[in-house]
Structure 1
Amino acid sequence: MSLKEQHLDTIIQEMVDTVKNSKDEVFHIAEESRKEYENLKNELEILKEKVIITIEESDELERQSKLARNRLSVVSKNFKIYSEDVIREAYDHAHKVQSEYVVKQDKERQLRERRDEIELRLKSIEALVERAEGLMGKISIVLNYLNDDFKAMTNLIQDAQEKQAFGLQIIEAQEEERRRLSREMHDGPAQMLANILIRSEFVQRTYQKGDTDAAMNELRNVRALVRTSLQEVRRIIYDLRPMALDDLGLIPTIKKYIATLEEQHDNIHFNYRSQDDRLPSKYEVALFRLIQESIQNAIKHANAKRIDVKLEVTRDSVNALIKDDGIGFDRTQKKDKSFGLIGMGERIEMLDGELTIDSEKNKGTKVWIKIPIN
């Protein structure tokens, strides 16, 4: 993983942690609000009962106050009938009832105000809890986006970087291939052709001098050089694109290719089952290159003692298995230059196929290739 990718992952993780903490805080606020809501709701129920009782008591005291005032009015108007003690008693009773009535009214007012205050607070808390639940839902969406979509985006960026690197590797490989071909053409056919040209001039001069036997002998040497040059040119052409692939088809080309590898590896086994019909050129080229890349990986990197290649061609699909008993590798650990595997994946993707690689340390590698025939 590159330094930029590490920084991006760190930033995303910090964002995820921040959002998670915010969600926890909002959840805590919502839970505390629910507890407060329940407590206030219980208090409201008690208050309502107290208000009803206080109203009833206030009404009773109002009735008693009216009776006491009427009694005091009657007694006060008839000094001759009632004694001073009766009048004082009537006055004290009226004053006491009136005072209790005023106190009870004040208590009723306080209870009503507290009730109204709690009802308003309950509505406010209810709205707060509703907003908190909505906010937690949105935060959950953001978390899913951060966890899934951002990580998917990171993978896309990583895939794009790999594809970019693969593209650069292709360009580099093309230039290297051009350099290799240039060296091979210079050191092989070009040198041979120059030698043929010189020796043909020697044949001409020898013949002109009348030494026919020497000229014929040199001419035979020139023919041998021409034959060798032709073989070298054919070898270079085969490396670029096997002629047998166009002339004979996929299976004979694979057989011929494996035969040419005997010096590199003499234990490659090829089994196949196929229809008689030829495949379209794009399938044959792709399959040959995929099998070629898999065999080369097994030879160069796996140190395999045995390589098995199995191919099945039907009317609907082509299935191939390349298996070796080599050292294997850890699929979770990407190598810096695993462009061979990336290239295989690109070929498979272009043909809507499937590529599965199963490998473990010291347990060999299996490469499954499945390509639908459209």
Structure 2
Amino acid sequence: MTSIRLWFIQTFLMMAFITSLILFIGLQIFIFLVPDSGLSTSMTFWFWLYSFVTIAAVGFYFSLRGSYVIKGRLGDILLFIATLRRGKFTERIMTDEKDEIGLISEELNQLSEYLQEQVYSLQRLAEEKTELSKTVKSVATMEERQRLARDLHDVVSQQLFALSMMSSASLRWFDQEPEKARKQLEQISEIAGKAQGEMRALLLHLRPVQLSGESLCEGIIKLIRELKQKTNLAFEASVDEIEHISQAAEEHIFRIVQEALSNILRHADATKVKLILSEEQQYIHLYIGDNGKGFDIHEERMASYGLKTMRERCEQIGGTYNIRSKADEGTYIEIRIPAMRREE
């Protein structure tokens, strides 16, 4: 009811009605001024009805035809805008017309070029930022150590303290209340498993930020192999070599993978992880999903520091970041980053 085609039809039908009404009034005035003209009111009415139907039919046809063309062109513009919103800044809308819609299309093409240049500028800035960050590596290392110390104190040390207290209680109950001791041992086993997951996640952060001369593909494969040996996670991985990527983008993507796997170890209770890294149509695609317990991404308390860090890293290199999660069905993230141009 709100389409532009309906608006065209209503406009043309209104024009037909008004035109025929003016014609009818004019004939009535003519009959009044010239009584001997031989025209009667019934004749003018039928003439008005005939003219209205004719004009309305012609107007209806041309309104459909005109609205079809305009709606098609506006549909192309809407589709192009949706493409830009998804981060595909290399796309262009084709138009040969020089009217207002054509001018809008040209402006959108220029906007797309501008956004594409801004993405490349972000990548260059990220590259420069990476170079500058090397000069403050010692400070960053110290901050990372302090953060790990806080995590160890806040989580792992508390869990170890709980294990110590509960194990002491189990020893006292072992002979007198064996059933109570058994339940206590089950809780000890559960807490020990959580502590082990926390430690494995923290060990991921002890890896260097740089890839130490390895390519992104090699670094991710090495990381997956280590996790296969040290955890019970089953990996379904497809990692391609990325040709058109800056050093900054490599390091950011590698840290995003580390952060995502760390979150899975800490919170997801997952058994399977799917990881895909590929380069298609001038874009780098990263997908990481698990079959864990999931969470509500709209809850403020669930917006963890790790998720915010991944989003910020993605935005720093001009990428788009999407996360989906559902309770008992797992979580996945999708990242799309423009590849470096060949000349760069």
TM-score range, shorter-chain basis?
0.3 to 0.5
Q: TM-score, normalised by structure 2?
A: 0.39
Q: Name the structure where helix makes up a greater proportion of residues.
A: 1
